[in-house]
């Protein structure tokens, strides 16, 4: 049963979080300031007022453009705000307590990491390490994995992909897998326990294969050097993979 008031509050909180996270996604890889200073239009540099910064609504009212210079507002803003709003509404709507806050934080961080990896093949420690920390703290009220399984999951998740990354480098003489992927899988182990990791990995690999097949189907060049954002697929597969692991235990 969903709680309407909690869902509404979660949606509002998610839209606000999404506004900040979208700015982070756009500016951080460019080395631009994110947390300090006031927001400004990327086209004309005008400082944005309160009415310009209302998540989702401002962009709709302004039809996706700056009201001063007419520059197009990156649609990523609206997409991330909407995604975070949906995550927050579902998380707190179905679990209006500490566990629901945990689900919301998990979803917001995974969405941010998924977009960063897809756009820039980058999973920053400043996000993956806090994600792991949250798995050992608020995650205790979010998923039912015991602490020992979380510790084993964090260690084995990180080591498994780290070994693959080192082995690939030794055999092929180039990077094939970033350690950010290993840290992300370790963080997921801290949230869901080691039992969920095989399911998450299998689902992520399947999604990656489908992405490659889809690229081939539309005529995009695919070769041995084609880069696949594994972190994006790990983030997408995290919760479904955990669900599969729970179902497997029940069967």
Identify how many contiguous H helices and E strands the chain contains and give both numbers. 9, 0
Dihedral of CA 172/177/182/185: which sign?
A: negative
Question: Quick one: pLDDT band at residue 170, thresholds 50, 70, 90?
Answer: confident
Average pLDDT, the chain: 88
Query: Over 70: is that where the pLDDT of 17 sits?
Result: yes
- Decide if 165 contacts 176 (C-beta within 8 A): yes
- CA 243 – CA 98 distance, rounded (Å): 20
Question: Quick one: pLDDT band at residue 13, thresholds 50, 70, 90?
Answer: very high
Query: Over 70: is that where the pLDDT of 2 sits?
Result: yes
- CA 123 – CA 108 distance, rounded (Å): 14
Helix, strand, coil percentages for the chain (3-state, nearest 5): 70, 0, 25
The pLDDT assigned to 89 comes to 97
% the chain with pLDDT above 90: 63
Q: pLDDT tens digits, residue range 125-155?
A: 999 999 999 999 999 999 999 999 999 999 9
Spatial CA neighbour of 58 closest among 32, 31, 22, 28: 22
The pLDDT assigned to 178 comes to 78
Tokens in use for 43? 């086209």
The pLDDT assigned to 83 comes to 97
Mean pLDDT of 108-122: 96
The pLDDT assigned to 165 comes to 86
Tokens in use for 243? 């669900």
Let me know the angle formed at the C-alpha of 190 by 186 and 195, rounded to the nearest 5 degrees: 85
Question: Quick one: pLDDT band at residue 221, thresholds 50, 70, 90?
Answer: low
Query: Over 90: is that where the pLDDT of 124 sits?
Result: yes
Query: Over 70: is that where the pLDDT of 38 sits?
Result: no
DSSP conformation class of 225? T
């Amino acid at each position: 049963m969903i709680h309407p008031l909690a869902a509404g509050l979660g949606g509002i909180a998610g839209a606000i979080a999404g506004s900040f996270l979208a700015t982070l996604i756009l500016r951080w890889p460019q080395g631009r300031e994110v947390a300090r200073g006031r927001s400004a239009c990327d086209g004309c540099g005008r400082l944005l007022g309160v009415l310009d910064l209302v998540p989702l609504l401002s962009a709709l009212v302004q039809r996706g453009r700056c009201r001063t210079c007419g520059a197009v507002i990156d649609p990523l803003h609206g997409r991330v705000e909407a995604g975070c709003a949906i995550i927050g509404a579902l998380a707190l709507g179905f679990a209006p307590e500490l566990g629901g806050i945990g689900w919301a934080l998990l979803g917001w961080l995974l969405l941010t990491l998924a977009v960063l990896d897809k756009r820039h093949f980058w999973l920053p420690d400043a996000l993956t390490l806090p994600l792991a920390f949250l798995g050992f703290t608020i995650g205790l009220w979010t998923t039912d994995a015991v602490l020992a399984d979380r510790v084993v999951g964090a260690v084995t998740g990180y080591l498994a992909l780290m070994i693959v990354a080192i082995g690939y480098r030794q055999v092929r003489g180039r990077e094939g897998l970033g350690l950010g992927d290993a840290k992300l899988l370790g963080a997921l182990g801290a949230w869901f326990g080691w039992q969920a990791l095989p399911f998450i990995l299998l689902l992520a690999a399947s999604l990656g294969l489908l992405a490659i097949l889809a690229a081939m189907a539309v005529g995009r060049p695919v070769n041995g050097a084609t880069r696949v954002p594994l972190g994006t697929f790990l983030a997408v597969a995290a919760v479904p993979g955990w669900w599969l692991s729970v179902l497997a235990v029940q069967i």
